[in-house]
Amino acid sequence: MTSDSFIDSGLRTVRIEREAIDDLLGRIGKEFSEACQLISDCKGRIVVTGMGKSGHIAHKIAATLASTGTPSFFVHPGEASHGDLGMITSTDVVLAISNSGNTTEIATILPLIKRMGTPLISMSGNASSILATQADINLDISISKEACPLGLAPTSSTTVTLVMGDALAVALLEAKGFSEEDFAFSHPGGTLGRKLLLKVSDVMHTGDRVPKVRQGTPLSEGLMEISKKGLGLTAIIDDNDKLAGLFTDGDLRRAFDARLDLTTTVIDDLMTRQCKTINADVLAAEALNVMEQNKITGLLVTDSKKENLVGVIHMHDLLRAGVI
């Protein structure tokens, strides 16, 4: 094959599978709505099953449902006949996937599913098949042809099945009012989880690691505190330990530009009195937004009254935590 032949083959595959997906648009109707309602009303879990390539797609659909607020897991239909059927209860809903609808391993467990009274939703490309006719609801995933030129390898059929599964998951997600924070709780190890679950209190510096000096401190001593703590800033507190202001590297550059005497100038003369602060209980992502909006690299963390200094958070802390 030539380079052009490979490209033509790839483009033909994409076109065939795109047409198969387009055909789904006319099938998102009454049965789809009933399937969503049945799953939404489920008191147990959604048990997704499928054999072969349909099984691989079933694994993905189960994972997508579970991560978007619909408790779900995969059961191999062959293993179900040898004990795993005990994982299914009458409070569950079974979602069985088979393009032919006559897969032996699935047909074998159908009578047992029906005997338990477990609701059954099928995804099949054959409306007259055993699976489709025995299901409470059948979702039509039929295709006109596979992208495979031999018509043998599941290609368009698996793509359409995956899209139908995604459609179910998204419809249920929206119906439940599933939020970004809900998603993060299912993905605590991912970047989104870190962004949405970490609070300022989880990453801020506290105690002796917080750079701070008292009002009236000579500028030179303030610079030593900044250098010692290494955050490019220091808080200034009054005699009652209340936050009075902030002094940063930027203020130091302005002091040099003004040729001020660092030994006689007190830090109060250059500090920012109405400085940006943040509460320890807010999400770290919000601290990042404040920093980006104000083009700063650090924030003092205060109590709810914005009077008492409780910590400091730096852009580098957010970077290390994976929030950025």
Residue 72 CB-density burial (10 A; 0-12 exposed, 13-18 middle, 19+ buried): buried
pLDDT of res. 179: 62
Rounded Cα distance between 255 and 105, Å, is 79
Q: Is the pTM of this model over 0.85?
A: no
Across the beta sheet with 72-74, the strand order is 72-74, 46-50, 93-98, 120-124, 137-140
Residue type, 163: V
Contact 24, 160 (CB under 8 A): yes
What are the distances in angstroms from CA 57 to CA 95, 102, 193, 201? 12, 17, 25, 41
Residue with tokens 């076109």: 15
All structural domains of the chain, each given as residue ranges with its CATH number in brackets, are: 3-178 (3.40.50.10490), 200-320 (3.10.580.10)
pLDDT of the chain, 324 residues: tens digit per residue: 777 889 999 999 999 999 999 999 999 999 999 999 999 999 999 999 999 999 999 999 999 999 888 999 999 998 887 777 888 999 999 999 999 999 999 999 999 999 899 999 999 999 999 999 999 999 999 999 999 888 878 999 999 999 999 999 999 998 887 666 666 556 555 555 556 678 899 999 999 999 999 999 998 898 899 999 999 999 999 988 899 999 998 888 887 787 877 778 899 888 998 899 999 998 888 899 999 999 999 999 999 888 899 999 999 988 888 777
What letters, b where the CB count within 10 A reaches 16 and e where it falls short, cover 259-268? eeeeeebebb
